[in-house]
A and B are shown apart, each in its own frame.
Chain A
Amino acid sequence: MRTIDLATTPLRELNEALHRQKDGANEDNWEVLNPRGSHAVAVGVDAPINLDVKGSVGYYCGGMNKKATITVHGSAGPGVAENMMSGKVTIKGDASQYAGATGRGGLLVIEGNASSRCGISMKGIDIVVKGNIGHMSAFMAQSGHLVVLGDAGDALGDSIYEAKLFVRGKVKSLGADCIEKEMRPEHHEELAKLLESAGFKDVKTNEFKRYGSARKLYNFNIDNADAY
């Protein structure tokens, strides 16, 4: 276990040390103490390490992560795991705006609530939120999955492309071109796997509804202009 205390070590040294970790020659387990809301903690990591952050972080924690398993034992500021490529990022507390924005792969688990624009422009990432998510979540979501065990705010999935959304609770409103879709057996299977990966047991997939694109806005049509 390697421990880095951000109360005494500059952020630059932490990220530099993490970037030195490569496949096969890793110090497997890392611990970051006293993050105290620091921004850009553990960004651009590209190695299969385990990293525990003992406290809350600011913006962009785990940004562009590849392969690493990062757990924040606190809450996360805006843009947690933005553009993540692979690996797993878990937030034990709540996450602020834009969680998992533009993520291209990997799994983001938020054990508390997520704020507005969760999964905005997601491009392949899987996001599982135990609590609620805020308005405009999955805006322009391209691909990947967003699973919400709680409720979703206004305009869920506005201008969505091919991402799949599963919500157990209430959806305040759906955004442009986002509709409820049938939960077929393959969707139950997909959802069960996502819940299992996220570590949420005893959750019934038949309590969820699926949402996705009506695909009516994929090519411009003047008679759809009022949808915007």
Chain B
Amino acid sequence: MSYHNPPTTPRKSWTFDDYTLSEIRRAAQTGIYDIRGGGAKRRVPHFDDLLFLGASISRYPLEGYREKCSTSVTLGTRFAKKPIELKIPITIAGMSFGALSAAAKEALGRGASIAGTSTTTGDGGMTPEERGQSKTLVYQYLPSRYGMNPDDLRKADAIEVVVGQGAKPGGGGMLLGQKISDRVAEMRNLPKGIDQRSACRHPDWTGPDDLEIKILELREITEWEKPIYVKVGGTRPYYDTALAVKAGADVVVLDGMQGGTAATQEVFIEHVGLPTLACIRPAVQALQDLGMHRKVQLIVSGGIRSGADCAKALALGADAVSIGIAALAALGDNDPSLEKEYNKLNTTAGSYDDWHEGKDPAGITTQDPGLQKRLDPVKAGRRLANYLKVMTLEIQTVARAAGHNNIHNLEPEDLCALTLEAAAMARVPLAGTSWIPGITGTGGL
């Protein structure tokens, strides 16, 4: 009698899953690392792992639509003669003309201005469309210095010295040839059609002592009027925040690994940097240790999607947040109505991240004249404004429920965590306990 093994269900490897195998095949075929836009897509501890406690007998809530809950924020109170006043604590992150179409930049400016907040230039200089439509515009001072000039510097409302960003801390930028139109090439002073690399380090300073002098120069050129932000990617948030303060920053912008980029290597996006949730408390600790919390403002970015995310960041000690990918989604990026066109690009709505190829069906991350026309900057700006207003209402809802008449009164004590990891990173107790891993030991269990 012969013996036959009963068949088993075919089993795929956890280690060599479909995505991993497809990447190996892609690398073998093309001989180039994978480049894409966006931020980390892997699951990391995030604001979803925190909950607000809300009011109870020990705290009383505020009435939803009757009792005021202020949302404004002032940025740049340390040294700048003209600090920025924003109506809401949600700003638009730096995104370049070049990576985005001129219409998309205009839409961001329009939406932000309606909602009472700022937008930010990127690695391609300041466009008239963007300046014209942005009531408050932050001008990024980047290693590439593409388009940098003192006139635009003076037209800005604030200056953001970019040291790094969450998607690629330690990496420079990349704008591939297919997006280098005549206008982009002219603004950057480079030939049309070539791959443009943006340096990963500033060309004329290294280290915090130099940065202090660079900030002095920028202040002198602009008469000490404008707030100077320093933006860092989430890597060593305690020390980076402390050093930015030491160098004279008015505002620190801290970007976690879920923060987006126009284009960089997948290996950078997914494997370098800290989750946003892990960045906030060390940065706030640095500010508190220096006696500068609320004097130097902290803006947190990287994966902010909702009023709840924003409220949680504020409760952990941030003064404001910044959004990029969410703002693009509000404009119409990755919209399911374009599914057939995404399919033609071998992707699907919600997954499209080949922004560097310049073929965006939504007309946002492209320089193609035909595709750009698809985006109506007035309508898209309105959508962004609506989204920002909804987020603001959500923050107020949560803040009132926790008994605060000012969203900046949200505090860590308003929060608990659903997981040990989130409890440790956010330094708030695990839900139902008084245990903060690494802080309280196990005594509170």
Contact = CB atoms under 8 A, between A and B. Distances in A.
Interface string A39-69: 1100110100000000000111001101000
B214 interface: yes
B45 to A, nearest CB: 35
Given A39-B216, A85-B150, A218-B195, A44 B221 contact: yes
B194 A218 contact: yes
A204 B195 CA distance: 37
A58 B220 CA distance: 14
B184 interface: no
Query: What bracket does the count of chain B residues touching chain A fall in?
Result: 20 to 34
Given A85-B149, A104-B189, A117-B203, A140 B217 contact: no
A134 interface: no
A64 B197 contact: no
Contact of B203 (A66, A98, A161): A98
B17 interface: no
Interface stretch (A8-16, A21-29, A106-114, A187-195): A8-16
Interface in B364-413: none
A124 B189 contact: yes
Interface string A150-168: 0000000001011000000
Contacts of B149: 64, 83, 85, 104
Interface in B197-220: 197, 199, 203-205, 210, 213-214, 216-217, 220
B238 interface: no
Query: Main secondary structure on chain A at its contact with chain B?
Result: loop
Given A98-B204, A101-B204, A64 B210 contact: no
A63 B194 CA distance: 29
A143 interface: yes
A101 B150 CA distance: 15
B190 interface: yes
Interface in A58-114: 58-60, 63-64, 66, 78-79, 82-83, 85, 97-98, 101-102, 104
B61 interface: no
Contact of B221 (A63, A123, A162, A220): A63
Given A63-B221, A66-B150, A219 B177 contact: yes
A148 interface: no
A83 B221 CA distance: 12
Contacts, number: 103
A12 B220 contact: yes
A59 B306 CA distance: 44
A170 interface: no
B197 A63 contact: no
B31 interface: yes
A60 B194 CA distance: 31
Interface in B233-279: none
B189 to A, nearest CB: 4
B31 A222 contact: yes
Interface residues of A, number: 43
A142 interface: yes
B150 A64 contact: yes
A203 B220 CA distance: 39
B195 A219 contact: yes
Which of B177, B191, B199, B221: most chain A Cβ within 10 A?
B221
B150 A11 contact: no
Given A43-B221, A60-B213, A219-B195, A123 B150 contact: no
A19 interface: yes
A104 B193 CA distance: 21
A121 interface: yes
Contacts of B193: 219
A120 interface: yes
B220 A15 contact: yes
A120 B144 CA distance: 10
Given A43-B220, A85-B149, A60 B214 contact: yes
A40 B217 contact: yes
Contacts of B220: 11-12, 15, 40, 43-44
Given A117-B203, A162-B191, A39 B153 contact: no
B318 to A, nearest CB: 31
B445 interface: no
Which of B150, B176, B195, B199: most chain A Cβ within 10 A?
B150
Which of B177, B193, B195, B213: most chain A Cβ within 10 A?
B213
B204 A60 contact: yes
B223 A19 contact: yes
Contacts of A162: 190-191
Contacts of B216: 39-40
A60 B217 contact: yes
A173 B31 CA distance: 29
B155 to A, nearest CB: 13
Contacts of B145: 83, 102, 121, 123
B148 A39 contact: no
A139 B200 CA distance: 13
Nearest to B215: A40
A59 B217 CA distance: 9
Interface string A207-228: 0000000000011101100000
B1 interface: no
Contacts of A140: 197, 199, 203
A223 B31 CA distance: 8
Contacts of A120: 203-204
Interface string B19-53: 00000000000111000000000000000000000
Nearest to B178: A219
B70 interface: no
A16 B199 contact: no
8 contacts: A12-B224, A39-B213, A40-B220, A59-B205, A59-B217, A64-B150, A159-B197, A220-B195
Given A124-B189, A222-B32, 11 more contacts: A12-B220, A39-B216, A60-B204, A60-B213, A64-B150, A102-B148, A104-B148, A121-B145, A139-B203, A218-B191, A222-B30
Closest 4 CB pairs of A and B: A44-B221, A222-B31, A79-B204, A218-B194
